[in-house]
Amino acid sequence: MMEDNLKSHGYCYCVRFVAEQVSHHPPVSGFYCECKEKKMCVNTHVWTKSKFMGMSVGVSMVGEGVLYLLEHDEEYVFTLPCAYARSILTVPWVELGGKVTISCAKSGYSATVTFHTKPFYGGKVHRVTAEVKHNQTGNIVCKAQGEWNGILEFTYSNGETKVIDTSKLPVIKKKIRTLEKQGPYESRRLWQHVTESLRAGNMDEATEHKHRLEEKQRSEGKQRAATKTPWKPKYFIKEVKTK
């Protein structure tokens, strides 16, 4: 009903998304997302580094993305925050942390977004602050603060303010092909037996399915190495930078 209601008010657009693991060592994934109606698209590559920190697990997102605003012919290059799984042995919860940079060479503007991790004692969770500046003059044109999954307040240099409650933004359920129509290497089809076992609470069976899948992939990797056949992604190509 929500989707129909949004369509009736002209708020619903088609967003297409595809992701693919393009490398195993290191484990790099490529992402592409587009909305033709809004004339914008995003291209991203990222790989993760994980580390244990007592009762938490930290994941660093190594890589960057580019947001293309086709109507303005602008490219915004951005980095990604770190993610943390807290209280992994009790009641797990997730937060973001670290600094994200966003820059556009054509417009001459850049932004720094800081995701603040919760202090050990007190403090708010999911807090975020941000500044947008004009690079040539160094003037701060906008500041933002709030919670990235809650209320965000934007204050502009001319005194104007805006408030967005992200928790009230509509979430549309994504549409995906059925397993029968998915390719043999698509994640949902490839890991379906592991997923089914986890949902059934059968950890031993899930581990066995995972082991079989990983052994099969190792065997395929050895065959490619023996024949000197490189892995070829389906949707992405490696960009070769020239001097």
Q: Kindly state whether residues 170 and 192 are assigned to the same domain.
A: no
Q: Say if 240 falls within a structural domain.
A: no
Dump pLDDT digits (tens) for 159-215: 999 999 999 988 888 889 999 999 988 999 999 999 999 999 999 999 999 999 999
SS3 111: strand
Contact 20, 43 (CB under 8 A): no
Low-confidence residues of the chain: pLDDT under 50? 1-2
Name the domain count of the chain. Answer: 2
Is residue 113 one of the residues assigned to a domain? yes
Structure tokens at 96: 């973001």
Asked if 30 and 38 touch (Cβ cutoff 8 Å), the reply is no
CATH number at residue 60: 2.40.160.120
Phi and psi (nearest 5°) for 145?
-155, 160
Contacts 24+ apart (CB under 8 A), 9-16: 11/170, 12/172, 13/37, 13/38
Residue 93 and residue 123 share a domain: yes
End-to-end C-alpha distance for the chain, whole angstroms? 53
Check residue 7 and give its pLDDT.
54
CA distance linking residue 39 with residue 52, whole number of Å: 41
Global pTM value: 0.84
Place of tokens 């484990």: 27
Same domain, 121 and 211: no
Q: Are residues 89 and 181 in the same domain?
A: no
Whether residues 121 and 32 share a domain: the answer is: yes
Considering the domain architecture, whether residues 188 and 165 belong to the same structural domain is answered as no
Q: For residues 140 and 45, state if they share a domain.
A: yes
Quote the pLDDT of residue 173: 83
Domain that holds residue 197: 177-227
Find residue 41's DSSP bridge partners: 34, 68
Q: What is the residue whose two structure tokens read 């809004």? A: 38
The Cβ of residue 132 has, within 10 Å, a number of other Cβ atoms equal to 19
Considering the domain architecture, whether residues 199 and 131 belong to the same structural domain is answered as: no
Q: Are 74 and 105 in contact (CB under 8 A)?
A: no
Cβ atoms within 10 Å of 199's Cβ, excluding its own: 9
- Determine the pLDDT at residue 50: 92
One domain for residues 203 and 160: no
3-state percent breakdown (helix, strand, coil) of the chain, nearest 5: 20, 40, 40
CA 193, CA 77: separation in Å to the nearest integer? 38
Using CB atoms within 10 A of its CB, is residue 134 exposed (0-12), middle (13-18) or buried (19+)?
middle
β-pairing, 109-116 with 82-86?
unpaired
pLDDT of 242 reads 64
> How many of the other CB atoms lie within 10 Å of CB of 96?
20
Domain-embedded: residue 241: no
**pLDDT score of 5:** 55
Dmax over Cα atoms in the chain, in whole Å? 65
